[in-house]
Amino acid sequence: MFRLQNSIKHIRQYTRQFNSLVDVRPDILDLLKANKPIVALESTIISHGMPYPQNVQTAQEVEDIVRNQGSIPATIAILNGRIKVGLSDEHFEVLGKGSKNVPTVKTSRRDLAYVLSKGLNGGTTVSATSLIANSVGIDIFATGGIGGVHRDFDKTLDISADLTELGRSSMAIVSSGVKSILDIPKTLEYLETQGVCVTTYGTDEKDFPAFFSRKSGFKAPYNINSPIEAAKLIITSKTLNLNSSILIAVPVPEEYAMNGKDIDAAIEDALQNAKSSNIQGKEITPYLLSVIGKITNNQSLNTNIALIKNNARVAAQIAVELSKIKQNIQPNEAHYALPNHIKNAVVPVVVGGSILDMKCIIEDDQVKLDGATYRTKFLPNSGGGVGRNMAEGLCKLHGQVKFISKIGNDKNGEILKSLLSADCQECLEIDAEQSTATCIIVLDKAGDSKITLANMDIHQSIDSSMIRKYEQVLRSAPIVIFDANIPIDSMGTILELCKKYNKPAFFEPTDMRLATKPFTLPKELIKQIKFTSPNIYELDAIAVHLGCETLLQNDDINIEDLFQDNIMLEKVKKSSELLAEYIDNVIITLGPLGVLLTRKNTPADFKFFDTNLRYNETQSAKSDLQHRFYWAKQLSGIVNVSGAGDSFCVGFITAMLKALEESVCFSVGMECAKAAIQSPKAVPNKYFDRNHECFNQPIKYKIV
């Protein structure tokens, strides 16, 4: 078995031989000595893979994913003739932007001596990163795809240095196979010649992935299904002292995978372009990837980013289990043993606004808009925006979510980003042209809002083209949630895609002034909205837009008297019935009273989703509607009501996606609303775990 002494001896040997050329970040060196989990990352993705600032953003997000899995990222690069193992933010910027004074070279094994001797910068390829990581004692390396045998090899004799390096460096490399611009069967043959162990990950059929697509048409010799299996394979290889690498081929997540025929056609076109432009050598791969990106309208780039992030996640999990073995800690097999319908499930998608909320309380009694200065108490900034709140909440309770939104390249955007897990940021884009949406809320001493100042212009850039870019994400989602902050055209595109792939949509109206937006679309698109959750003011705005008499005879409604006021109750029911002609499930939030559901007549043990996460359509006649009122418990210790509705939806959706009964879904929703009300934040730091009683106890209701 691999021993700690061997690791320390290896590091001492590295120190003697490479100390004059290599800078290992001190924290990484300490972790190496303690056999802690570390994942090496390459840097050509920064220097030659993508445009700035997307290159730096993606690389830093990949590092965040590694950290979130319990490992430490060690991005490797060359700066001013020094090998760096572990980069700073400044290093990322230098590599990402480039330097006028110091050229940045795409650096493989053959280039290392030249780049170092000339004092240049270098983005390290798979071969150079493997060599350096192996030299300092890092065992695991995550990348997108390795190089291979090029097409037309018989004419060019072009074989990537990655392959020979894998034959002599003792590394475990997690990638999505080899780039599909290469000759995959010849590459697999060459890897066998080099003594490289090739295994797929999580696919019992052993289908070797083709980078952009999940299957290449060729098989790997082996397959492993968990980080623990991978860690045992790595430790056994090191015990045997084989001194060759293991290639762990992880298919791209299904929602990002491209159609094999489409990508093959794009590759053929790109190869012809390269040939006519006389592009050769190490320039051909970045050239081909760039051309393919243009041909596929950037879908290939999105796939590339998704698979790199997924590979980093898998590599980090393997690193954690490998560290446990080295430290003689018993691995927990059950940790990775998820039920098949959950393990293979895709995640819900939220599309909506990201807003930074700034609140202040005026402490003087009399307030006038007269230019005077008032004594004011400023509250801590917090995340806002219905879509953002629901995405953060679903991350915390459901566990996984894709959030499609935009923030600015500014401090406010950084604050919002820090509130979301790395998983939730994969579809969160940074707009360098606009500032992050910001809302300044001025409250009086009683806590009532007196004036709200907001800049929401960035939400208009969440346009149809952005939605279509994530078509594959929407296609794989069990449900698509969107708020009213986004443009009407974007709503139409979401509903078109939901209709195309038979996915239910959940519309959160957000504000009475925005609530009617989707109801200007064609009726066949509106009907793709299967759930909506208006409060009574938003319901009224929608109903009036659809031709119903207004509920509001003045500016306020005493909701607590609703069930004593038969006239008002009948108006609410009539409004919800009108809305139910379009939407299956109208969920009216009634503040401290509870929630009123209007839907086609089905029992309270009805399940909105089946165990395969497919939405259950009802067969009742349109006129056969029922109103079920689920009442809320009376609460004390109310701190904040601003996020109660968003958190209710988080709980309701989470329970739906567990295929729980209607009445239990409302139970979980109410419990989440309670957690939000008792928290100073719109989204509490934590809701509760999956063992909470609300997941098993139906909530009481009455038919009204």
Indicate the pairing of strand 172-175 with strand 428-431: unpaired
CA distance 59 to 96: 10
Which residues, in sequence order, are CB contacts of 523 under 8 Å at separation 6+? 582
Residue 535 β-bridge partners? 589
Buried b (16+ CB within 10 A) or exposed e, 211-234: bbbbbbeeebeebbebbbbbbbbb
Which residues, in sequence order, are CB contacts of 343 under 8 Å at separation 6+? none
Residue 201: strand, helix, or coil: strand
List 36, 84, 106, 179, catalytic entry: 179
Give residue 559's pLDDT: 64
Which residues, in sequence order, are CB contacts of 353 under 8 Å at separation 6+? 385, 386, 387, 388, 405, 437, 456, 459, 462, 483, 485, 486, 510
Residue 609 β-bridge partners? 615
Give residue 93's pLDDT: 92
CA distance 243 to 245: 7
Side-by-side strand order, sheet with 505-508 = 428-431, 402-408, 349-351, 480-483, 505-508, 529-532, 585-589, 594-600, 625-631, 701-703
pLDDT in tens, 455-474: 999 999 999 999 998 888 89
- Taking residues 221-240, report their average pLDDT: 93
Give the residue among 107, 288, 44, 278 at the shortest CA–CA distance from 180: 288
- Please name the residue that has the structure tokens 């409004």: 575
Please indicate whether residue 52 or residue 200 has the higher confidence score (pLDDT): 200
- Taking residues 309-319, report their average pLDDT: 94
Q: Quick one: fold of 509-704? A: UDP-N-acetylmuramoyl-L-alanine:D-glutamate ligase (3.40.1190)
Buried b (16+ CB within 10 A) or exposed e, 340-349: eeeeebbbbb
Residue 609: strand, helix, or coil: strand
pLDDT in tens, 610-623: 877 889 886 554 55
User: Within its chain, how far is the Cα of 606 from the centroid?
Assistant: 31
Give residue 167's pLDDT: 94
Which residues, in sequence order, are CB contacts of 452 under 8 Å at separation 6+? 439, 440, 441, 442
Give the residue among 58, 41, 50 at the shortest CA–CA distance from 427: 58
Distances (CA, A) of 394 to 79, 249, 349, 423, 660: 41, 30, 10, 11, 16
Written as six digits, the tokens of 504 are 């239910």
Note if 179 is an active site residue.
yes
pLDDT in tens, 125-153: 999 999 999 999 999 999 999 988 977 77
Q: Are 4-328 and 509-704 in the same CATH fold?
A: no
List 36, 42, 662, 674, catalytic entry: 42
Give residue 631's pLDDT: 83
Written as six digits, the tokens of 95 are 């590599």
Instruction: Mean pLDDT check: name the lowest of 254-263, 303-312, 483-492.
Output: 254-263
Instruction: Decide: 385 and 485 in contact? Cβ < 8 Å.
Output: yes
Please indicate whether residue 303 or residue 482 has the higher confidence score (pLDDT): 482
CA distance 533 to 514: 13
- Taking residues 260-282, report their average pLDDT: 74
Q: What percent of the chain has pLDDT over 90?
A: 49
Q: How many alpha carbons lie under 13 Å from residue 317 in its C-beta half-sphere?
A: 19
Omega prior to 53 cis, within 30 of 0: yes
Give residue 618's pLDDT: 66
pLDDT in tens, 565-615: 677 788 888 999 999 999 999 999 988 888 999 998 788 788 999 877 889
pLDDT in tens, 362-389: 888 877 777 888 889 888 888 889 999 9
pLDDT in tens, 629-684: 998 877 666 666 777 899 999 999 999 998 899 999 999 999 999 998 888 787 88
Note if 42 is an active site residue.
yes
- The full set of domain ranges for the chain reads 4-328, 344-478, 509-704
Instruction: Decide: 214 and 180 in contact? Cβ < 8 Å.
Output: no
pLDDT band at 222 (very low <50, low <70, confident <90, very high): very high
Give residue 455's pLDDT: 92
CA distance 319 to 69: 9
CA distance 56 to 45: 9
Give residue 678's pLDDT: 83
Return the CATH superfamily for domain 344-478: Ribokinase (3.40.1190.20)
- Please name the residue that has the structure tokens 């207004």: 550
Indicate the pairing of strand 349-351 with strand 222-224: unpaired
4-328 to CATH, choices 3.40.1790.10, 3.30.310.50, 3.20.20.70, 3.90.1150.10: 3.40.1790.10
Instruction: Decide: 587 and 669 in contact? Cβ < 8 Å.
Output: no
CA distance 506 to 527: 11
pLDDT band at 12 (very low <50, low <70, confident <90, very high): very low
pLDDT at 557 over 70: no
CA distance 367 to 210: 65
- Taking residues 187-195, report their average pLDDT: 95
Q: What percent of the chain has pLDDT over 70?
A: 88
- Taking residues 378-405, report their average pLDDT: 90
